[in-house]
Amino acid sequence: MIGDYSHRRVIRAHKRIYSLSMADYPLQDTEKMRSKEEEQEAPDEQPVTPRPLKGRQANLFPLILVLAAGLVTIYFGWRIVEYQREVSQIQQTNRGLQEDVAELKKTLENTAGQLDLALNAVTLARIHRDEGQKALREMEGRLADSRETREALEAQGRLDQAEIEYLSKALTQVEAALREVKQLPDYQYTGNPLEVTEYISGTHPTQNAILGNLLENWGDIKWRYMGNDPKEGLDSLGMAALVLSKCGLTSSSAREAREQIPQILEAAEEPQIGDLVSYPGDYFMFFFQDQDGVPFVAGMTPFGVQVFLYEFKEIEEIYRVPYSEETQCEFDNSP
């Protein structure tokens, strides 16, 4: 009985050692192990009668148990030390991470400060940019004003220059007229122009209307260099352009026809009644011929509306005026 009891104790200790040693290994099917152990304990479900142990063998079992327990203790002690070492490493890693986090916070704070400085610098730069753009706009405005002023001055200068040229040419004509005053009696047509109107009224009705209007209605118009308005005054070319416009011989106004007469009228070698003849000094006179065959011209001069001999000056050009039966002049009693 004692031997059987000791044998059972050894088996139980062995099971305990085995269960403790299997703590670090994967779990296995306990039901199978239990059934295997039960088969080993009672393979035929018959009581096993242990053999009686000898004295030395009986003393080895407690020693084996002690050694097994020691080994288990050493193993678990080693595992505890390892766990403690891992815990220490984890704690050390945590401290390092905490230090890194603190350093990162300082870096973030420094970065935030630098960002604030950068934002302030950007704000100042924008302010300076806006001020610069405002100053640039002001300078552009001043420059535009100065350009407008310069253009206005240039335009005024051109007007002044044109006025000077106008006055210069007017003065030249006046000086020429003053020099011709002494010769004026030699230029005059000595016949009676009104008798000529009766003479040409049947054959040249339009030319007759022009001559009669020049002598009777427009005789009081004043001479004005480059003049286009009969109320303010006309020069010789202005008077000729106004007559052509009133008679429908040009589609342009008197002001426009003034510049177009050399282009709209054809040149001729010999004048016919009513043709336009140009002389030096910007004289443009209408050609006529009396019943005695004496040629003369009528038109505006620096001395007013005058009737001169045909060859009172050297003839520059003869322009053919395209009269027709449909030509009608619309002269008023006053220009």
**Is residue 120 a part of any domain in this protein?**
no
Give the domain-ending residue among 46, 71, 101.
101
Q: How many CB atoms lie within 10 A of CB 20?
A: 16
Q: How many CB atoms lie within 10 A of CB 58?
A: 14
**Is residue 127 a part of any domain in this protein?**
no
Q: How far apart are CA 113 and CA 165, in angstroms?
A: 76
Residue 95 shares a structural domain with residue 198: no
Residue 196 shares a structural domain with residue 300: yes
**Is residue 230 a part of any domain in this protein?**
yes
Q: What single-letter amino acid sits at 218?
A: W
Q: How many CB atoms lie within 10 A of CB 264?
A: 15
Residue 96 shares a structural domain with residue 200: no
pTM of the model: 0.52
Residue 84 shares a structural domain with residue 195: no
- Tens digits of per-residue pLDDT, 286-330? 999 999 999 999 999 988 899 999 999 899 999 999 998 888 888
**Is residue 65 a part of any domain in this protein?**
yes
Contacts 24+ apart (CB under 8 A), 281-284: 281/173, 281/176, 281/313, 282/173, 282/235, 282/236, 282/237, 283/236, 283/313, 284/236, 284/237, 284/239, 284/240
Q: Decide: 306 and 262 in contact? Cβ < 8 Å.
A: no
CA angle 142, 144, 146 (to 5 degrees): 70
Q: What secondary structure letter does DSSP report for 79?
A: H
Give the domain-ending residue among 101, 133, 154.
101
**Is residue 285 a part of any domain in this protein?**
yes
Q: Decide: 325 and 211 in contact? Cβ < 8 Å.
A: no
Q: How far apart are CA 202 and CA 193, in angstroms?
A: 15
Residue 199 shares a structural domain with residue 309: yes
153: CB partners within 8 A, 6+ apart: none
Give the domain-ending residue among 64, 84, 101.
101
Residue 304 shares a structural domain with residue 193: yes
- Residue 267: what pLDDT? 92
- Residue 326: what pLDDT? 85
The two tokens of residue 270 are: 């010999």
Q: Which domain holds residue 78?
A: 2-21+32-101
- Residue 2: what pLDDT? 45
**Is residue 134 a part of any domain in this protein?**
no
- Residue 220: what pLDDT? 85
**Is residue 170 a part of any domain in this protein?**
no
- CATH number for the domain that contains residue 209: 3.90.1720.10
Q: Compute CA 161 distance to the chain's CA centroid, rounded to the nearest angstrom.
A: 37
User: Mean pLDDT of residues grouped by 10 in the chain (335 residues)?
Assistant: 52 59 48 54 52 60 83 88 88 87 86 85 88 87 85 84 69 65 78 88 89 86 85 89 86 69 88 94 92 93 91 93 86 61
Q: Total domain count for the chain?
A: 2
- Residue 296: what pLDDT? 95
**Is residue 132 a part of any domain in this protein?**
no
Helices 55-180 and 2-21: crossing angle in degrees, nearest 10, is 10
| 311 membership: H or E segment, kind and range | none
Q: Could you give the C-alpha distances from 292 to 37, 142, 190, 296, in angstroms and in order?
A: 174, 74, 12, 11
